[in-house]
Amino acid sequence: MIILVFLNLWTATKETVQTAQKMHKIPCHNCQFFTNNYRLKCTVNPYIANTEEAIGCKDYQSH
C-alpha cells in the first residue's frame, strides 16, 4: 500500500514538473503583441496565445 502511494506521488510530481517546463517555453508574456487582456490576449495570433501552439511562434517579437 505504501509503495502504491509513493508511486502515485512520484508520477504526479513528475507530470507536474513536465507540464511546468512546457508552459515556461510559451513566449507570449514577453512578446510586444501580447496585451494581457483576457478578451484579446494577442493582436496577431489571438487563438494560439498562451497555448502550447504558441511555442515557436513566427510572429514573436520581444519588448
pLDDT digits (tens, 9 = 90+) for 8-18: 999 999 999 99
pLDDT digits (tens, 9 = 90+) for 24-46: 999 999 999 999 898 999 999 99
Residue 63 has pLDDT above 90, yes or no: no
Residue 62 lies in a domain: no
What is the domain range of residue 41? 2-54
Q: Which pLDDT does position 36 carry in this prediction?
A: 86
Q: Which pLDDT does position 49 carry in this prediction?
A: 94
Query: How crowded is residue 25: how many other Cβ atoms within 10 Å of its Cβ?
Result: 10
Residue 17 lies in a domain: yes
Q: How many domains, in total, are found in the chain?
A: 1
Cβ proximity of 26 and 34 under 8 Å:
no
* Dihedral of alpha carbons 32, 26, 47, 57, sign: positive
Q: Which pLDDT does position 13 carry in this prediction?
A: 97
43 Cβ partners below 8 Å, 6+ apart?
33, 35
Q: pTM value?
A: 0.68
